[in-house]
């Protein structure tokens, strides 16, 4: 899966640049079910996920039951994404 994402990034115009610099696209594997993985080049869940509201908020919108994402939301944000 990681190789496919890296290939897709290249196909969409991503080029090598500074580690934290701007980029055309950035695809990360944030989580994968209950998988916990720590291998060279890939850690699941993403090691900085809990620090990235820009990733947690959309993740909570997709899966409001995902505890780390739900915990990162304000009560108003949680109410906006919880199923009726």
Would you call 78 a catalytic residue per the annotation?
Answer: no
Of the candidates 7, 10, 23, 63, the residue annotated as catalytic is 23
Of the candidates 7, 11, 19, 26, the residue annotated as catalytic is 26
* Residues 54 and 77 placed together within one structural domain of the fold: yes
pTM above 0.85, yes or no: no
* Residues 33 and 58 placed together within one structural domain of the fold: no
* Residues 41 and 58 placed together within one structural domain of the fold: no
Question: Per-residue pLDDT for the chain (84 aa), expressed as one digit of tens each?
Answer: 999 999 999 999 999 888 878 899 999 898 888 889 999 989 998 888 878 878 887 887 787 777 666 666 666 766 666 554
* Residues 53 and 35 placed together within one structural domain of the fold: no
* Residues 56 and 82 placed together within one structural domain of the fold: yes
Give how many domains the chain has, as a whole number: 2
Rounded Cα–Cα distance for residues 22 and 75 (Å): 32
* Residues 56 and 19 placed together within one structural domain of the fold: no
Q: In terms of residue numbers, what domain contains 23?
A: 1-46
* Residues 1 and 17 placed together within one structural domain of the fold: yes
């Amino acid at each position: 899966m990681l190789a496919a994402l890296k290939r897709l990034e290249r196909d969409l115009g991503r080029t090598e640049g500074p580690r934290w610099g701007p980029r055309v696209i950035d695809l990360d594997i944030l989580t994968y079910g209950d998988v916990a993985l720590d291998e060279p080049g890939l850690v699941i869940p993403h090691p900085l996920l809990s620090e990235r509201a820009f990733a947690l908020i959309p993740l909570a919108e997709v899966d409001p039951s995902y505890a780390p994402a739900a915990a990162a939301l304000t009560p108003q944000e949680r109410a906006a994404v919880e199923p009726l």
